[in-house]
A and B are shown apart, each in its own frame.
Chain A
Amino acid sequence: GAVVSQHPSRVICKSGTSVKIECRSLDFQATTMFWYRQFPKQSLMLMATSNEGSKATYEQGVEKDKFLINHASLTLSTLTVTSAHPEDSSFYICSARDSRGRGSQPQHFGDGTRLSIL
Chain B
Amino acid sequence: AQSVAQPEDQVNVAEGNPLTVKCTYSVSGNPYLFWYVQYPNRGLQFLLKYITGDNLVKGSYGFEAEFNKSQTSFHLKKPSALVSDSALYFCAVREGDSGNTPLVFGKGTRLSVIA
Contact = CB atoms under 8 A, between A and B. Distances in A.
Contacts, number: 55
Given A44-B105, A95-B102, A104 B44 contact: no
Interface string B75-111: 0000000000000001000101111111101111000
B100 A31 contact: yes
Contacts of A34: 102
B21 to A, nearest CB: 14
Contacts of B56: none
Interface residues of B, number: 25
Interface in A81-118: 91, 93, 95, 97, 103-104, 106-112, 114
Q: Is the interface of B mostly helix, strand, loop or mixed?
A: loop
A108 B46 contact: yes
A43 B102 contact: no
Q: How large is the interface on A (under 10, 10 to 19, 20 to 34, 35 or more residues)?
A: 20 to 34
Interface string B37-49: 0000111111001
Interface of A: 4, 6, 31-32, 34, 42-44, 46, 49, 91, 93, 95, 97, 103-104, 106-112, 114
